[in-house]
Structure 1
Amino acid sequence: MSGRLTSFTSDGLTFDVRDEGPLDGPVVIALHGFPQTSASWSGVVPPLVAAGCRVLAPDQRGYSPGARPADVASYDLARVVADVLALADAAGADRFHLVGHDWGAAVGWALAGRHADRVATLCAVSVPHPAALSRSFLGSQALRSWYVLAFQVPGLAERAFRARGGAVVRRMLARTGMPEPEAAVRLLADPATATGAVNWYRALRVPGRLRAGRIRVPTLYVWSDRDTALGRRAAEGTAAFVDGPYRFVVLPGVSHWVPEERPDELAGLLLEHLGAHPLER
């Protein structure tokens, strides 16, 4: 196993990464979502480290200062998936456990579906399998995802994020139940970061976009019933796209921001999942 990482490279870009836990422990790669950084896992990592895991939490494309390409095509899922594999390679991890929240979960579904040989287990938090999410747009999910369309307008989101000293985005995030929105407000106040973060959504229109495929690896999906962005229909429909061992857990009374709102509970679920499907070494 390689030494401790503070950064890695992929596609000519340099990514910051948090590397905690024993170097010879089973590797867990934790992927954050929008609009956050690896800091969103701060409450989840300590129990994993205490259990002997090595946790790698990168600041993903658009969030790391050295990895903020301006063009939308650079945020295609295929490239983001390649970033995670580059991180695993830098850590010397042929196989690893994968956990993702929000956009990190979307990356997780795609990576596990296309590179099952590298992924020992998947834990997706909040975001369902993309095919289940697509099916749900025939119902109420379309209304929940209004912001995805708004983000497609060039410059609109960036201006909104900075409007009135961040008051607009602060109010929007508070309404979703985000426990401490100030870090996200500061993050989106930076124009380069704001464009990079929103380009994840704009890349949804990139032709030939990578599809997740069916999931064969052991999978834990954690969804919370007060998630204002993602509804129950897609959450319950995800099982139809998982062929491997599957566990679906609903957290009642919890918002979209599961890693911050219930870090200990999420860590406990993760450790149960990893214990049931240990990484062979």
Structure 2
Amino acid sequence: MPYALEHHYVQTNGIRLHVVQAGPTNGPLILLLHGFPEFWYGWNHQILPLAEAGFRVWVPDGRGYNLSDKPTNTAAYNLDELAADVVGLMDAAQTPKAIVVGHDWGAAVAWWVAATYPERVERLVTVNVPHPAAMKQFTRQQPRQMLRSWYIGFFQIPVLPEFFSRLGNWSALARTLQSSSRPGTFSADDLKLYRTAWSQPGAIRSMINWYRALARHPPRRRAQRRITVPTLLIWGAQDRFLMREMAQPSIDLCEQGRVVYFETATHWVQHEEAEAVTNLIISG
């Protein structure tokens, strides 16, 4: 049967998240977590196909993004809080477990949920972000990865990143999406929606605070180094930001893991190879 996108607000972990939902209410819950600088729309190609496959699909705007609450303190964006938001969504859905899928920052959060709340994760699917231990090792030891991650350092500067992001009707963020993806991946209509999301009061500061919290407020929750839940890592090999060499070491840290490469796709593989990524999420 055809499904429509439902827009809801859900209380979780002391804040209110805007959550797009679709699919049968009694279907297995699947959470799709977006990254920077996207919002729920980053999964627009997957939502309805997953719903039609029988899943109950919840796609939140991460805290600080678009229509979700935007705490003002940087510490509110540390990984422990972001993971607790995800677990709180499962509680709100009254389900003990969910399939957790994440891209970019959403993948970093998904890894952390699987490492700290493994009993709440049915399956883990991460897209173009490595296991946190692999990311830490490569960032410290590989000059090429350090160069690719230059923007993380830039985002630590107060005020300036927000100022540059707003210039020219968000031209830097729009240009980053377009220049790092295959031609035509993000249409003019897509970018109009992104600009509206970025323009929400307090959004750009909150979005950047995810990076600031990573450096200033490291997580404290005890995490398992080895991921015990079934794990699929999807990797667009033409990623401009993250080296593919981090993918296999990430899977080596998983008891039940595999990696699937898309050789001609970029960091934005769920947009560029939408149907194939959807099918992988369904099949695990």
TM-score (norm 2): 0.90
Matches within 5 A, 1:8-157: 8-137=10-139, 138-139=141-142, 140-157=144-161
Deviations 1:159-187 (A, max 9, x none): 11111222232222222117226133443
The amino acid across from 1:69 in the alignment is: P
Deviations 1:8-39 (A, max 9, x none): 11233211111111111111111111111111
Aligned partner of 2:232 among 215, 220, 244: 220
Aligned match of 1:277: none
2:254 counterpart of 1:247? no
CA RMSD in angstroms, aligned pairs only? 1.7
In structure 2, C-alpha distance between the alignment counterparts of 1:42 and 1:9, rounded to whole Å? 23
Q: Provide the identity percentage.
A: 35
* Runs of 4 or more consecutive aligned structure 1 residues displaced over 4 Å after TM superposition: none
The amino acid across from 1:192 in the alignment is: G
Change (3 A) 1:212 1:130: farther
Deviations 1:118-151 (A, max 9, x none): 1010000111101111111211110110101000
Displacement of 1:46 = 2.0
Deviations 1:98-133 (A, max 9, x none): 100111100100001111111010000111101111
Structure 2: gaps (5+ residues): 1-5
Change (3 A) 1:257 1:212: farther
Aligned partner of 2:168 among 158, 164, 168: 164
Aligned partner of 1:206 among 200, 207, 216: 216
> Aligned with 1:97: secondary structure?
strand
> Aligned with 1:157: secondary structure?
helix
8 A contact 1:32–1:41 mirrored in 2: yes
Aligned match of 1:196: 206
TM-score (norm 1): 0.90
Aligned match of 2:275: 264
8 A contact 1:111–1:212 mirrored in 2: no
In structure 1, C-alpha distance between the alignment counterparts of 2:201 and 2:7, rounded to whole Å? 28
Deviations 1:185-217 (A, max 9, x none): 443344511011101100112344245632000
Structure 1: gaps (5+ residues): 274-281
